[in-house]
A and B are shown apart, each in its own frame.
Chain A
Amino acid sequence: EAEVAQSPRYKITEKSQAVAFWCDPISGHATLYWYRQILGQGPELLVQFQDESVVDDSQLPKDRFSAERLKGVDSTLKIQPAELGDSAMYLCASSLGEKETQYFGPGTRLLVL
């Protein structure tokens, strides 16, 4: 069964450092999402792509976060500089289209020291 792949699974970094997360969606899925899940809370959408275009980044802290999906397939989420409050699980999800079921990857757990 096809799955959303994410790497790394775990990342420990010091504040002010740069970190990057990678996501490979299910083949053929045009819509890709990045979520942040703080411990004990539900996921919150950071950015949504339709193919290579951003359709919603209203909750993305653009002063330090950036996301790209250059060829409309895999995607990278970057944080620079990382802050203590960025410690969370970063989840990637994909769907066939905007109104289709979202399938989540296993996530990247980030710890900022």
Chain B
Amino acid sequence: QQQVKQSPQSLIVQKGGISIINCAYENTAFDYFPWYQQFPGKGPALLIAIRPDVSEKKEGRFTISFNKSAKQFSLHIMDSQPGDSATYFCAASSQGYQKVTFGIGTKLQVIP
């Protein structure tokens, strides 16, 4: 059973555009929602994370929006750049247990 559902699986965005990746979760015990960025041949790297006590978190061009009632969260990449081309994973965990459940991943390609 996929506890964190991520879409789309692939995304092509023009340079300067907004990239949007969506995730939904089922386990209401989840209370920590990180996003990871993975380049080919590299391990995932933490990009940004949010806890459900806030509805939005922004770091530079990256913003997480969180909707607790809908059990959904999304990553927005503003002014997308070719260097942002990577696979992005949403994830979730509960504070009582640090096991991180990952989504299936979204392969983002930003074209010039």
Contact = CB atoms under 8 A, between A and B. Distances in A.
Nearest to A99: B98
B105 A42 contact: yes
Contacts of A93: 43
A56 B99 contact: yes
B98 A43 contact: no
Nearest to B34: A101
Interface string B1-34: 0001010000000000000000000000000001
Contacts, number: 48
B102 A98 contact: no
A48 B93 CA distance: 14
Interface in A15-61: 31, 40-45, 48, 56
Contacts of B41: 106-107
B99 A41 contact: no
Contact of B102 (A40, A42, A56): A42
A102 interface: yes
A10 to B, nearest CB: 10
- Per DSSP, chain A at the interface is loop
Interface residues of A, number: 22
A79 interface: no
B43 A91 contact: yes
B6 to A, nearest CB: 8
A4 interface: yes
Contacts of A95: 98
B44 A43 contact: yes
Contact of B43 (A40, A42, A56, A104): A104
A18 B74 CA distance: 41
Given A4-B43, A42-B105, A107-B43, A102 B100 contact: yes
B102 A104 contact: no
Which of B34, B44, B45 has its CB near the most chain A CB atoms (within 10 A)? B44
A75 to B, nearest CB: 15
Nearest to B96: A99
Nearest to A48: B99
Contacts of A40: 104-105
